[in-house]
Structure 1
Amino acid sequence: MAKTRRRPYSEQRPQDLGGGVWSVPVPIPGNPLGYTLVYAVDSPRGPVLVDAGWNHPDAWEALSGGLAALGLDVAAVRGVVVTHFHPDHAGLAGQVKEASGAWIAMHEEDAALVRLMHRFAAEEHASFQSDMLRRAGADPGEVGEAMGTRPDPPALPDRELRDGDLVDLPGRKLRAVHTPGHTPGHICLHLEDADRLFTGDHVLPDITPHIGIYPYDRDDVDPLGDFLDSLNRVGELGLLDALPAHEWIFHDVAARAAEIRHHHEEKLIRLRTLMAERSRPLTIWEVAAMMTWNRPWDDLAPVLRSMAAGEAAAHLRTLETRGLIRRVPEVDPVRFQALDS
């Protein structure tokens, strides 16, 4: 199998990966990830894409031109399977559908979120973000700067998938594997006739995907716990080659899934220890500030701090679910405190 290391987008090229599978790098404007790897899987009735890339003219040119360079016509695409609803994966699905008549499929839980996004006005989104940041304990002067802009919602799916469903791909066996965590409806796609797994953002070769909880103070979900369980499930699929949505193709997805799980378990232990050393309950913002990120907290831009707070909240929720910390009742901002071990 062809394999690449992470290089700038300018050095990326469409690739024939063999076995009727191709990859096309599609740029993500203004994002340090650089690009999404969109995959095409051949079938007698036309290729099916795994993800589609960000909705931007440069991205569309890269996707349609990259497919053409591989001898594929975007107008012949049969369908687009979206691993999850984020804009760097689902953004161009609607344009592919317009060009080819293709269907769009995603997991039913992400489909429900997309429908909600279409009903949610931009002003409501801003109010939601502002209140969420306030309840997390963000500095009032920082709330406005920490609010990100909402991208346009992706196209509504035509088909909804559940765990174990086979994608409509004649002559091949491409099965949806529900791997919640990064989003509630994230799926990996197991190409069973080739021992390959399209991992989306669930398992990446070098970085770990963002696992956040929104709003930060929800107490009815545990996305990090779901993610850790999903990593175990992927590991049980056996020895598979991983075709991720970012970075590079790699061998043995189970080994990498185990590494990522270990990373988060260590992070949970460190966080519980830090909280036990504090004499008072802490806000989500205070917890995020004392965690380790890829740069010091003081150097993080406000929008990145808001993402860090989402990830801190997910770790707090898992610790709460495990009975290692408690949520202080009836306080605003919400606060958490370590329990005696």
Structure 2
Amino acid sequence: MKSRRRPYSEQRPIDVGGGVWSVPVPIPGNPLGYTLVYAIESPAGPVLVDAGWNHPEAWLALRDGLAAVGMDVREVRGVVVTHFHPDHAGLAGQVREESGAWVAMHEADAALVKLMWSFGEGAQRDLQADMLRRAGAAKVEVEEVTAERPRPPAPPDRTLHDGDLVDLPGRALRAIWTPGHTPGHICLHLEDTGRLFTGDHVLPAITPHIGLYPYDRSDVDPLSDFLDSLAKVADLGELEALPAHEWIFQDTAARATEIRTHHEEKLVRLTALLAEAGEPLTIWETAGRMSWNRPWEELPAMLRGMAAGEAAAHLRTLEVRGVIRRVPGVDPVHYALHS
């Protein structure tokens, strides 16, 4: 029987066995509801996998959730961040302030965090606005999407590389670089228990957001990276998955294969959409014609921006594969099928 995502109100900290505890931390105002933060015991103090959203309600949930399973946030040894997004890295800095813990993430995401802090808030908004304009968004849509931005997470103390062992005395927790959702996303293989903390890379029911930012970049291909990362995780075998959202599930490999199939089918549908259009489309026009979990017109501004990022990532993969081309010399950017 398939599990279902329970609302945050029904979530409780639980002992999932093998010296691992799950602590749900709310994401106020977000349909995901909560992040599952995991605490791994060690003789030198617990290490957290992710930390949750930077919000007073979330902080209380993390602090009190750890206390409910017999841990003191002031004794946390370290926080391993699966990726830099605010629902994962947001509270890492506050945990560090309380406990003196180290914070670690992959070097690629650490570089992005450093870059974000180098820009002032106004500069970040201007860059995003120009990206939206080049994608074909109307002025009012640009204003809506850029209205709110969370602060960047705290910079890490340590950077991780593919295959590194995390500083977790008495345990074997290995970083598996799985780029796609972010350039530096990592899964974490707890080798002494045969489990995989999957972050947002492999989730049991939903598929993680794969976006291209800026939308018109031509030097990266995050969707292809993601598909390769899914194959990499599948090669690890039938590990139990401890994801950052929804619920714990069996057989990471099978679910990774399902998600690969989902995106390949999405690429086929996108190719057909461009063929049916009969003319070049902007990224924004393409996103508006794709299928989402609700009609395009009903998506809030932030979600339209994310949908455009996902459309851009799929267009980029089709471009790399030689299925479509960018129309030269036009602004905003347009894509068309190769003739």
Corresponding residue of 1:123: 122
Deviation at 1:148, TM superposition (A): 4.6
Deviation at 1:303, TM superposition (A): 2.0
Deviation at 1:183, TM superposition (A): 0.4
Deviation at 1:206, TM superposition (A): 0.6
Where do 1:1-341 residues align within 5 Å?
5-340=4-339
Report the AA paired with residue 153 of structure 2.
P
Asked if 2 retains the 8 angstrom alpha-carbon contact of 1:4 and 1:249, the reply is: no
Superposed CA offset, 1:119-177 (max 9, x none) = 11110011111111110011223221122522111111110000000000011110000
Report the AA paired with residue 110 of structure 2.
A
Aligned mates of 1:148, 1:218 — CA distance in 2: 23
Report the AA paired with residue 191 of structure 2.
E
Report the AA paired with residue 165 of structure 2.
L
Aligned mates of 1:19, 1:168 — CA distance in 2: 18
Deviation at 1:4, TM superposition (A): 6.6
Asked if 2 retains the 8 angstrom alpha-carbon contact of 1:15 and 1:22, the reply is: yes
SS in 1 for 2:335: strand
Deviation at 1:81, TM superposition (A): 0.1
SS in 1 for 2:277: coil
Task: Give unpaired runs (5+ residues) of structure 1.
Answer: none
* Residue 181 to residue 193, structure 1, CA distance change in 2 (3 Å): same
Aligned mates of 1:113, 1:126 — CA distance in 2: 16
Asked if 2 retains the 8 angstrom alpha-carbon contact of 1:212 and 1:223, the reply is: yes
Aligned mates of 1:209, 1:124 — CA distance in 2: 28
SS in 1 for 2:6: coil
Deviation at 1:43, TM superposition (A): 0.7
Superposed CA offset, 1:40-66 (max 9, x none) = 011110110000001111111100100
Report the AA paired with residue 80 of structure 1.
V
Aligned mates of 1:315, 1:148 — CA distance in 2: 26
SS in 2 for 1:17: strand
SS in 2 for 1:153: coil
Asked if 2 retains the 8 angstrom alpha-carbon contact of 1:136 and 1:334, the reply is: yes
SS in 2 for 1:251: coil
Report the AA paired with residue 331 of structure 1.
V
Q: State the percentage of identical aligned residues.
A: 74
Aligned mates of 2:87, 2:60 — CA distance in 1: 15
Aligned mates of 1:279, 1:86 — CA distance in 2: 38
Report the AA paired with residue 28 of structure 2.
P
Aligned mates of 2:139, 2:15 — CA distance in 1: 51
Report the AA paired with residue 256 of structure 1.
R
* Residue 4 to residue 290, structure 1, CA distance change in 2 (3 Å): closer
Deviation at 1:301, TM superposition (A): 1.9
Aligned mates of 1:159, 1:4 — CA distance in 2: 36
Aligned mates of 2:95, 2:138 — CA distance in 1: 43
* Residue 241 to residue 247, structure 1, CA distance change in 2 (3 Å): same
Report the AA paired with residue 81 of structure 2.
V
Asked if 2 retains the 8 angstrom alpha-carbon contact of 1:175 and 1:192, the reply is: yes
Aligned mates of 2:247, 2:140 — CA distance in 1: 40
SS in 1 for 2:31: coil
